[in-house]
């Protein structure tokens, strides 16, 4: 979500599928990503480059690696939302079907709060904060789906709102905090590009590798209600390559 694809609904994650075998090395890798674990949820700090789901030539995905947490009956944690492959940061999964249904509804009903950090470059606005209220529609270009701005009455157009704040700026570069109100595919990426400040390393909405070797978008915080009812907030520290590029650009992250 949050500029990423919306997650699967609870009713769609209950299908029985073969549980992939996970090597000891891969199991250690995915367990090293855990930032919170209890009987109903597991929260990860997903690295950039790790796909959330398989398909489309993906060799390894977080969904496959969740088999490392499978119970003796073969049931494994379920995805309830998504991040793009290039996006790093907080991802929550459900350990049980009831927890998956609960969390999926929390995301669908916009009761979660997501905070992203992005390194951008372009025609920065004079203001340090604002909201991008621009409906988006999915189109296919050269077989690749992407989101473009659309009139509200266009067929397939989806309302999309992203609140943003510039935390630091240096010339035409900035560190931006983005808080998506809605959860459309690629929402933050598309909105910041439409605003004239595409995310560095974004091959679809920006200049790609000319700006950075990978997408500089990080899901830093997630506030969500736990299936047991309590409000919880999870934080993922900035990846080192993100922090180093921010410093190289003269941006003060303070994070």
| Residue 71 confidence class, pLDDT cut points 50, 70, 90 | confident
Handedness of CA 104, 109, 113, 117 (dihedral sign): positive
The CATH architecture annotation of domain 115-217 reads 2-Layer Sandwich (3.30)
pLDDT in tens, 133-146: 999 999 987 778 99
* pLDDT reported for residue 58: 76
Token pair 């510039």 in the structure block, residue: 166
Q: What is the pLDDT of residues 123-134, one digit of tens each?
A: 999 999 999 999
Name the residue with tokens 């694809």. Answer: 5
CB atoms within 10 A of CB 64: 20
Domain residue ranges of the chain, discontinuous segments joined by +: 10-110, 115-217
- The CATH number given to 10-110 is 3.30.2350.10
pLDDT of 7 reads: 53
Mean pLDDT over 59-87 rounds to 93
pLDDT at 2 (0 to 100):
46
Would residue 84 show up in a list of annotated catalytic residues for this protein?
A: yes
- Which stretch of 46-60, 68-82, 103-117 has the lowest confidence by average pLDDT? 46-60
Q: What rounded mean pLDDT belongs to the chain?
A: 91
User: What tokens appear for 246 in the block?
Assistant: 């921010």
Q: Answer for the pair 50, 60: CB distance below 8 angstroms, yes or no.
A: yes
What percentage of the chain has pLDDT greater than the value 90?
A: 81
Inform me whether the pLDDT recorded for 73 exceeds 60: yes
For residues 48-70, average pLDDT: 90
The string of DSSP letters for 60-118 reads: -BHHHHGGGG--TTS---EE-S---TT-EEEEEEESSHHHHHHHHHHHHTT--EEEEEE
- Tell me how many helices (H) and strands (E) the chain has: 5, 12
Of 1-10, 48-57, 151-160, give the range with the top mean pLDDT: 151-160
pLDDT digits (tens, 9 = 90+) for 189-206: 999 999 999 999 999 999
Residue 72: the pLDDT is 82
Half-sphere exposure of 124 (CA within 13 A, CB side): 21
Taking alpha carbons only, the member of 94, 142, 143, 124 closest to residue 198 is: 124
> What confidence category does residue 14 fall into, taking pLDDT thresholds of 50, 70 and 90?
very low
Identical fold, 10-110 and 115-217: yes
The whole-number pLDDT of residue 126 equals 95
Distance CA 108, CA 160 (A): 14
- Residue 209 pLDDT > 60, yes or no? yes
Among residues 63, 64, 84, 202, which one is catalytic? 84
The pLDDT-based confidence of 253 (bands split at 50, 70, 90) is low
Q: Over 60: is that where the pLDDT of 35 sits?
A: yes
Token pair 């949820």: residue: 41
């Amino acid at each position: 979500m949050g500029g990423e694809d919306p997650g699967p609904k609870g009713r769609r994650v209950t299908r029985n599928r073969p549980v992939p075998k996970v090597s000891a090395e891969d199991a250690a890798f995915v367990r090293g990503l855990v930032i919170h674990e209890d009987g109903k949820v597991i929260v990860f700090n997903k690295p950039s480059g790790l796909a959330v789901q398989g398909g489309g030539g993906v060799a390894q995905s977080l969904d496959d690696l969740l088999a490392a947490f499978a119970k003796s009956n073969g049931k494994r944690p379920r995805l309830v939302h998504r991040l793009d492959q290039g996006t790093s940061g907080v991802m929550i999964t459900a350990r049980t079907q009831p927890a998956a249904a609960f969390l999926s509804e929390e995301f669908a009903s916009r009761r979660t709060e997501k905070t992203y950090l992005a390194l951008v470059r372009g025609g920065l606005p004079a203001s340090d904060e604002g909201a991008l209220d621009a409906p988006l529609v999915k189109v296919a270009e050269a077989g690749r789906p992407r989101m473009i701005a659309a009139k509200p009455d266009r067929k397939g157009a989806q309302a999309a709102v992203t609140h943003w704040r510039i935390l630091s700026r240096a010339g035409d570069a900035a560190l931006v905090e983005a808080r998506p109100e809605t959860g459309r595919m690629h929402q933050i990426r598309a909105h910041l590009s439409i605003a004239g400040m595409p995310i560095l390393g974004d091959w679809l909405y920006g200049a790609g590798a000319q700006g950075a070797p990978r997408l500089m978008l990080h899901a830093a915080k997630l506030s969500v209600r736990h299936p047991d009812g309590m409000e919880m907030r999870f934080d993922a520290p900035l990846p080192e390559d993100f922090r180093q590029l921010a410093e190289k650009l003269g941006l003060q992250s303070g994070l």
